[in-house]
Amino acid sequence: MQHELLQKDFSLDEAEAFQKKYSLILKKKSQKSVINTKINDIEWVVGVDISYYNKGNEEWGVSCAVLWNLVNNEMENHCFAEDIIKFPYKPGFLGFRECNLLAQAINKLPETPDIIMCDGHGIIHPKRFGEAVQLGLALDVPTFGVAKNPFIGYSEWKTLKREKGKKVPVWAYDPKKATDSPQELIGNAVCLNDSMKPIFISVGCKTILDLSIKVALKTTKNHRQPEPLYLADYFSREKIIDRL
């Protein structure tokens, strides 16, 4: 049975209610929900992304899920899904727009992912409920977010040295002002390649930040993003060329 977070048609009011509901559930969950996995235990990584096109008055999306063998550090397979997108673009609600279509592509893969990386945020989100959180909860699979742009939080990422592996924290509150309450680490800005701008990594579901960064670094080759995400974007864009 499909998880309610993957239903196809949400209203904005429904999306806000689901965010509130599951944000409270996540706050009550203990660290027992985190899978204690080492990078050497991971075989199958999946990277997902979506490209869009318009047909008449309708917006369509083509999602791509890239199956990456972490042992050989190479792509094994990729699958697509295509459908009408009805939920409008609204910052903070990307998962309600994309997760159904992402899940469709993931479910076509010949292997079950050990971990999924999303082209978007995890807990770097006002409600700690970005797309990577929503997808992980819905599929009950470890996930993390890899975003190209900052969303919320405070970080010295602009002065980060452009060398692979360099990173700085993303804090929920301004470190210069947040002295009355405990600080919250919500992610890291990380350079995945030399001479390239950092990306923003945060946990989604059932994993930890350190492992997420290690997987991202290992799967990055010649681009700013990890290769599974770069390829998911590339293949989905190629797929819509004949639709335009």
Cα–Cα distance measured from residue 106 to residue 111, given in angstroms and rounded to the nearest whole number: 9
pLDDT, average across residues 227-231: 98
Q: What whole-number distance in Å separates Cα of residue 26 and Cα of residue 18? A: 12
Q: What average pLDDT does this structure show over 217-223? A: 97
User: What pLDDT score does 37 carry?
Assistant: 82
pLDDT at 32: 52
Hey, where are the domains in the chain?
A: 40-150+201-243
Segment 46-57, tens digit of pLDDT = 999 999 999 989
98-146 pLDDT, tens digit each:
999 999 999 999 999 999 999 999 999 999 999 999 999 999 999 999 9
In b/e form, how buried is each residue of 48-86, taking b as 16+ CB within 10 angstroms? bbbbbbeeeeebbbbbbbbbbebeeeebeebbbbbeebe
pLDDT of residue 30: 54
pTM of the model: 0.95
* pLDDT score at 2: 85
Q: Say what the pLDDT of residue 72 is.
A: 97
Q: What is the pLDDT of residue 3?
A: 94
Paired tokens of 231: 């390829």
CATH domain 40-150+201-243 topology: archaeoglobus fulgidus dsm 4304 fold (3.30.2170)
What pLDDT is recorded for position 178? Answer: 67
| Residue 177: pLDDT over 90 | no
Least reliable range by pLDDT among 104-118, 146-160, 176-190, 230-244 = 176-190
